[in-house]
Amino acid sequence: MFLSAAVAVFLTGVTEPLEYMFMFAALPLYLVYAVVQGLAFASADLIHLRVHSFGNIEFLTRTPMAIKAGLAMDIVNFIVVSVVFGVAMYFITNFMIKKFNLATSGRNGNYDTGDDASDETASNSNAGTANANSQIVKIINLLGGKENISDVDACMTRLRITVADIAKVGDEAAWKKAGAMGLIVKGNGVQAVYGPKADVLKSDIQDLLDSGVDIPKTDVTALEEDKTADVSFKGVIEEVATVADGQVIPITQVNDPVFSQKMMGDGFAVEPENGNIYSPVAGLVTSVFPTKHALGLLTDDGLEVLVHVGLDTVALNGAPFSAKVKDGQRVELGDLLLVADLEAIKSADRETTVIVAFTNTAEVKSVTLKKTGQQAAKTVVAKVEL
């Protein structure tokens, strides 16, 4: 949305696509914006600025004529004025949005993700109170309430939240009623397993905490269990290859309960000999996590595959990883997905195990690991029935 509006303004000079995005939602900002724009127009009378165009395409086509007419310095002045007022407006906008918590696009629940849980998050925010039935409010209450939350983070598989008092956190049964696949508690750290949508939930939680909206208290022991629709299996077989040269092991042997207990779904793992990680299936890259240690794939038959490199490697902030694909890219079985610096991972005291998990568990009828032990990358080692 932002990109398309910016391109329209850049090419045509019509500013309404941007202005209408905040004109009514953040009126104080628009009033300041109008004054700054007026000052920018007034500068044409204060300095030599005898050029005019509707958008940058027209500006470029008129530039040769302006130079021939002796208006070269006017063009320079035009560029300087544009840069000065553009930078000034950026800092003014940034300050006002943060200072006054303005509801510009994407903030304070002022967004539409197409996900019912997210839509519910702040549906009552105009009334000053969040929707008690939304998934985000349930999660915040499971964490002991807003005051008990110290830090909110996430990786490709789970929410990672630090709390002040671990005794106030709901038990695993309550978390599962709120849609979690599992719960791990370490000290004051809470890891709630939600799969690839964990990062989206993190953003929604942080948005609600920052919004200033009242978050109603709910009884976490009385949560209704999320209903799952009946699934009819497709009768399709998917063959899945190993992602790296090395020892293929059952997922139950992974040194992380989120994977070994199959909270993220069934699958297998590889103890890699080198850092080249290949696609185990043909399909679409649905997500590359910002720290590049994990990514999601979707096959044509609907199998969702998570490739996760290393254990707790999200804390390395992407340093040992180089992604070779991007979101929305089509890949074939055996295409290079990413390169990992295994020595750097080991130096950070992390395990290098690569996990392949099939995350749409409700649609997976069975997983058969056909080969284990030493295997070459791109070798078919598993069969998944949908």
Quickly state the pLDDT bin for 115 (edges 50, 70, 90).
Answer: very low
DSSP annotation of 229? -
The answer to whether residue 221 scores a pLDDT higher than 50 is yes
The answer to whether residues 281 and 378 belong to one domain is: yes
Q: Please check whether residue 181 is in contact with residue 131, taking contact to mean a CB–CB distance below 8 angstroms.
A: no
Q: Is 194 helix (H, G, I), strand (E, B) or coil?
A: coil
Q: Please check whether residue 306 is in contact with residue 294, taking contact to mean a CB–CB distance below 8 angstroms.
A: yes
- Global pTM value: 0.60
The answer to whether residue 378 scores a pLDDT higher than 90 is yes
Cα separation, 138 vs 220, in Å, equals: 7
For 36-63, the pLDDT digits (tens) are 989 988 888 888 888 776 678 888 888 8
| Residue 117 belongs to some domain of the structure | no
Give mean pLDDT, residues 333-349: 97
The answer to whether residue 137 scores a pLDDT higher than 80 is yes
For 206-219, the pLDDT digits (tens) are 999 988 888 898 77
The answer to whether residue 122 scores a pLDDT higher than 70 is no
Q: Please check whether residue 386 is in contact with residue 253, taking contact to mean a CB–CB distance below 8 angstroms.
A: no
The answer to whether residues 378 and 299 belong to one domain is: yes
Cα separation, 100 vs 177, in Å, equals: 36
Sign of CA dihedral 314, 358, 284, 282: positive
Q: What is the pLDDT of residue 116?
A: 46
Q: Is 150 helix (H, G, I), strand (E, B) or coil?
A: strand
The answer to whether residue 322 scores a pLDDT higher than 80 is yes
The answer to whether residues 322 and 350 belong to one domain is: yes
The domain tally of the chain equals 3
| Residue 186 belongs to some domain of the structure | yes
The answer to whether residues 269 and 364 belong to one domain is: yes
Going along the chain, which residue ranges are E strands?
A: 149-154, 158-163, 182-186, 189-193, 237-241, 246-250, 267-272, 276-278, 283-288, 294-298, 304-309, 321-323, 330-331, 336-340, 354-358, 366-369, 373-375, 380-385
| Residue 37 belongs to some domain of the structure | yes
The answer to whether residues 159 and 293 belong to one domain is: no
Q: What is the pLDDT of residue 324?
A: 96
Residues in the chain: 386
Nearby residues of 275 by Cβ (< 8 Å), 6 or more positions away: 339, 340, 341, 342
Cα separation, 4 vs 142, in Å, equals: 39
- Which among 140, 155, 180, 193 is annotated as catalytic? 155
For 245-296, the pLDDT digits (tens) are 999 999 999 999 999 999 999 999 999 999 999 999 999 999 999 899 999 9
The answer to whether residues 142 and 202 belong to one domain is: yes
| Residue 228 belongs to some domain of the structure | no
Q: What is the pLDDT of residue 231?
A: 61
48: containing domain: 2-100
Task: Give 310-331 as a DSSP string.
Answer: SSSGGGGTTTTEEE---TT-EE
Give mean pLDDT, residues 336-364: 95
- CATH number for the domain that contains residue 211: 3.30.1360.60
Cα separation, 279 vs 274, in Å, equals: 15
Quickly state the pLDDT bin for 157 (edges 50, 70, 90).
Answer: confident
Of residues 114 and 361, the one with the higher pLDDT is 361
> Does the active-site annotation cover 155?
yes
Q: What is the pLDDT of residue 114?
A: 42
Q: What is the pLDDT of residue 223?
A: 59
Mean pLDDT score of the chain, rounded to an integer?
A: 87
Nearby residues of 213 by Cβ (< 8 Å), 6 or more positions away: 108, 109, 122, 125, 128, 129, 130
Quickly state the pLDDT bin for 224 (edges 50, 70, 90).
Answer: low
The answer to whether residues 161 and 216 belong to one domain is: yes
Q: Which of 187, 161, 155 is nearest to 175 (CA)?
A: 161
Q: What is the pLDDT of residue 222?
A: 57
The answer to whether residues 315 and 185 belong to one domain is: no
The answer to whether residue 226 scores a pLDDT higher than 70 is no
**Pairing label, strands 246-250, 373-375:** antiparallel
Quickly state the pLDDT bin for 4 (edges 50, 70, 90).
Answer: confident
| Residue 202 belongs to some domain of the structure | yes
The answer to whether residues 279 and 347 belong to one domain is: yes
The answer to whether residues 335 and 204 belong to one domain is: no
